[in-house]
Amino acid sequence: MKKRNAKSGIFLALAVLVLVLAGAWFFWNRSPAVPSPSSPGGTVQEDEAARLVHKMSPEEKIGQLMMIGLAGTTIDDQAQRQLEYCHAGNVILFDRNMDRPDQVQHLTKKIDTTIRKKSGVMPFIALDQEGGQVLRMRKAFPPIPSEQAIGQSGQPEQAKQWALTTGTELKKLGINVNFSPVVDLGSQAERSYSLDPGVVTQFAHEAVAGYGQAGIWCSLKHFPGIGKVKTDPHIDGDSVNSSKDELLKQDLKPFENLIKREDNQKMFIMVSNVTFPALDPNLPACVSKPIMTDLLRHTFGYQGLIVSDDMEMGAMAKHYAFADMGVMAIKAGADIVLVCHEYAHERETYDGLLKEYKNNADFRALVDEKVTRIVRTKLNH
């Protein structure tokens, strides 16, 4: 009887051991529980973004860091070669690209298909559609009033409604980013809601909500605020000579308020190419580490994408080489560099970034970090 009990005990112990080992095997080899892909910043997006970036060549990574312009209304041979040369990850459209809605839909579909096939990631396809004097394809688009007119109405809900209208129409055209709203104080050409930081914050908050409801990204611009600029940055550089304290209380205040108030993943911030000596005595904002990294990222805690203004504007192009500007911007804190017009300038910027990537290990690590942020943002859309 004792021998039988001993044998039974041995068999029982072996059975328990088998069950334990099977359970351990199942635990270690099961698919991990992960949050829904719709959860911004969740494990799914983190892992998938890292996987996609790991697969990218250096050329493809640099393509994600740029947003380029194309010359015409179709993807002709020249445009196709430009997309391929720059391994383009993102495109911005202008009136030169837009004749009528069906043509724009065909163009954006072709851009989207071409870029997805090459990179495996959707492109940002952007437009400056502010309203008022800054309105692309004016004859075929709703007559959007200027921000000044909307601000003067005293009704913040109008900002939301016009942003929803704009965003809905842009989405129909295949455009997923609008570089709006302007949150500068008192910009020329009726481009600002108000001179009052609180009013600008209130109206811009509603605009961000409208674009979010429409399902596209928007962009606050032009950090740190260019309402006091006298020289048009398209023509040449200029300085805003306010003290840091004045900037923090006035021009910077809407940006700070909105960064704290909004979901940073649903908006970009475009950084100006104007100089702010109180913040950085040497460099324009779009290539300034004190402004983009120290102030915008660290002090204000902004977690979304940082985009430079167009590097072909006189404020930059008259003073810096394109081969250097992209590298300067990325090192200073930008995630995406805009070069919007001349194919030669786009290639020079691309070549400069790629050369630095291949020769500088620290820059490679920085680029990988930024490309992962860009891809994660796209996956969260």
* Dist CA 90 CA 336 (whole Å): 9
- 15 assigned to some structural domain: no
* Dist CA 47 CA 49 (whole Å): 6
Q: How many CA atoms lie within 13 A of 292 on its CB side?
A: 31
Tell me how far CA of residue 59 lies from CA of 66, 113, 233, 368, in angstroms: 11, 19, 30, 12
* Dist CA 43 CA 312 (whole Å): 38
pTM of the predicted structure, to 2 decimals: 0.87
- 349 assigned to some structural domain: yes
Task: Tell me the pLDDT tens digit for each residue of 262-298.
Answer: 999 999 999 999 999 999 999 999 999 999 999 999 9
Alpha-carbon dihedral of residues 59, 93, 339, 125, nearest 10 degrees?
-40
Q: What is the pLDDT of residue 32?
A: 34
Query: DSSP secondary-structure letter at 193?
Result: S
- 11 assigned to some structural domain: no
Contact between 67 and 338 (Cβ < 8 Å): yes
Tell me how far CA of residue 132 lies from CA of 7, 62, 114, 129, 223, in angstroms: 90, 35, 33, 9, 21
Tokens matching residue 285:
């904002």
Q: What is the pLDDT of residue 14?
A: 52
- 180 assigned to some structural domain: yes
Based on the structure, what is the number of domains in the chain? 1
The domain containing residue 183 runs over which residues?
Answer: 43-379
User: Domain holding 164: CATH number?
Assistant: 3.20.20.300
Of 5-14, 57-66, 106-115, minimum mean pLDDT range? 5-14
- 63 assigned to some structural domain: yes
- 100 assigned to some structural domain: yes
- 90 assigned to some structural domain: yes
- 273 assigned to some structural domain: yes
Nearest residue to 33 via CA among 22, 47, 23, 21 = 47
